[in-house]
Structure 1
């Protein structure tokens, strides 16, 4: 089995370093200290132009939780269209409900806007109340990938849950 290494980066220099280090894909973010927010369109364009790796920008209106208002979803839909126009190879995003379930309507809107690009459900997955239920919801929506640490602080700590999923 081949393991694909995805690097989470926030600059063009980071994209170049990730490529040199052997990464196979890049999740491009701004504000990693906030858990990652949508990078600028200029950053997406520069990363796509400079690197040879697939660039998947995170689409996240703000740091904090993953509970989005209708207005924030609208902003993210516009960001997805701009990211696609900037040459993104895929989109990373997702939304939750206050009860810890996947916001299927919000996530579906993001996923549909991303089409035909692959959509990855981001680390919001680790905030859900039930990993299996969330996995089923993501699969039903047609999410291509899920970024997870198995609901734990690190992937090593959540390795058993990841194997089970």
Structure 2
């Protein structure tokens, strides 16, 4: 991908929103690195090689006891982008178990057999979990028609983030499309949680487009390994500083334009 020479611009200043840095964790031993490095939230999952599945409630409880950070947990029983009625019943039960042991929210998201956002299923599941905020899983990037997918997720109850790289291939391929969509729509920008091959050089472009939510996973593990290294506080701190500096820089520019 060739990054354009000028970041996306908008005619209207965007409302200032605090940046959010979410760190993916697999077990309690990952939590200290996220905590000490300055993460705002952690996302707990099992089977990262499958894109994340639901962990056991006992593991969720252990992670929640390790930190005062908000903990979200993946609600997903397999690597499939679809689900069934029987699975939905189980997912609701898991979510209630997660909430009872301290989880702040969950992450799920399903498509139908036409590769469109399964609004009915997602709305049903969200409706069964009143008051529990949630993130749309990165299966969002598998949707066939991106513009329609954004229209559909924007009306789902309780949703406050969409994991996306702008492309199923990751941010190196999807950055231009994602920043263009976010710059054109504050509603999209408010929901985007940039994820999927996120690199430091992507952050300023995403921030200029109005995006303030970021998720990091293997990039905060020495060697980039899920299995051979825990989340490292120094790696998380580097992302914390990068995101905060990028947001502060953009807000100074916007304040200068408003004053002028």
TM-score range, shorter chain: over 0.9
User: Does residue 141 in structure 1 map to residue 156 in structure 2?
Assistant: yes
Q: 1:159 to 1:3 in 2, by over 3 A?
A: farther
User: Does residue 151 in structure 1 map to residue 188 in structure 2?
Assistant: no
Name the residue aligned to 1:160. 176
CA RMSD of aligned residues (A): 1.5
Pick from 18, 25, 38: which aligns with 1:22? 38
1:150 CA displacement? 0.9
Name the residue aligned to 1:67. 82
TM superposition score normalised by structure 1: 0.92
Gap runs ≥5 in structure 1: none
1:109 CA displacement? 1.7
Gap runs ≥5 in structure 2: 1-16, 183-260
- Report the structure, 1 or 2, having the larger helix content: 2
Instruction: Determine the C-alpha separation between the residues in 2 that align with 1:19 and 1:36.
Output: 21
Pick from 40, 54, 58: which aligns with 2:56? 40
1:8-50 deviations in whole A, cap 9, x for unaligned? 1111111221122222111100111111100110111111111
Provide the secondary structure at the position in 2 that maps to 1:66: coil
Size of the alignment, in residue pairs? 164
| Structure showing greater relative contact order (alpha-carbon pairs closer than 8 Å, 6 or more residues apart) | 2
Larger radius of gyration: 2
More deviation, 17-26/148-157: 148-157
TM superposition score normalised by structure 2: 0.60
Instruction: Determine the C-alpha separation between the residues in 1 that align with 2:165 and 2:124.
Output: 25
More deviation, 25-34/11-20: 11-20
Provide the secondary structure at the position in 1 that maps to 2:20: coil
Provide the secondary structure at the position in 1 that maps to 2:23: strand
Provide the secondary structure at the position in 2 that maps to 1:78: helix
Provide the secondary structure at the position in 1 that maps to 2:128: helix
Q: Is the 2:117–2:152 Cα contact (8 Å) retained in structure 1? A: yes
1:2 CA displacement? 4.0
Instruction: Determine the C-alpha separation between the residues in 2 that align with 1:137 and 1:151.
Output: 17
Name the residue aligned to 1:55. 71
Q: Is the 1:90–1:118 Cα contact (8 Å) retained in structure 2? A: yes
Runs of 4+ that moved beyond 3 A: none
Provide the secondary structure at the position in 1 that maps to 2:155: helix
Instruction: Determine the C-alpha separation between the residues in 2 that align with 1:36 and 1:44.
Output: 14
Instruction: Determine the C-alpha separation between the residues in 2 that align with 1:75 and 1:31.
Output: 18
